[in-house]
Amino acid sequence: MIELYLRLLDRVLTPLLLLIGVVLLLRGHDAPGGGFIAALMVSAAIALQILSNGARLVRARIGRALQPLIATGLLLGVGSALLGVFTGQGFFAGIWWSIHWGPIDYKIGTPVLFDLGVFLAVTGATIAFMLGLSTNVIETTDEPRLGKRPVQHAAQPARRGEEAQ
């Protein structure tokens, strides 16, 4: 029955954690926060999902997005550092623009992009670690290995998190 409470709780907590993650990401270049912390916050939200809904469901939903997420993060991080080279200010030079649009007054620059890259890469890697760790612990799955067909068991009991469907 733990899952019931957890599932009720994560309806409230998951959006909250994701929102805090975004806030931390956007303010991180000047104030406490940053891509790494934001990524851990978002991963905490996903960890909650894994605990309440099971690794299988989470993997089915976002499993395929993880590798592109890490790739985008790495490329964005290097790209933001390289921007300075193209403008002649040197590798990792900070270049800033300001956005003034109605009530929004936001400073955007290569450090923000770098933070975004860190955020994506760390989120992808952390979620991949957690899914990898929870596959055999939280529920025993017959998750297919790459290139192999899934093993079909004859009489399989209903899995947690899927009874309702």
CB of 149 to another protein, least distance (A): 14
Phi, psi of 104 (to 5 degrees): -85, 125
Residues of this chain, 3-62, that bind another protein according to CB under 8 A = none
CB of 7 to another protein, least distance (A): 31
Residues of this chain, 86-115, that bind another protein according to CB under 8 A = 89-94
Return the residue of 8, 65, 78, 133 that touches another protein, per CB under 8 A: 78
Stretch that binds another protein, among 52-60, 72-80, 97-105, 155-163 (CB under 8 A): 72-80
Nearest CB to another protein, comparing residues 94 and 161 = 94
Stretch that binds another protein, among 12-20, 25-33, 80-88, 99-107 (CB under 8 A): 80-88
Instruction: Based on the shown chain and the rule CB under 8 A, indicate whether residue 82 belongs to the binding site for another protein.
Output: yes
Measured CA to CA, the distance from residue 42 to residue 62 in angstroms comes to 13
CB of 53 to another protein, least distance (A): 24
Contact 46, 130 (CB under 8 A): yes
Binding site for another protein (CB under 8 A): 67-68, 70-75, 77-79, 81-82, 84-85, 89-94, 145-147
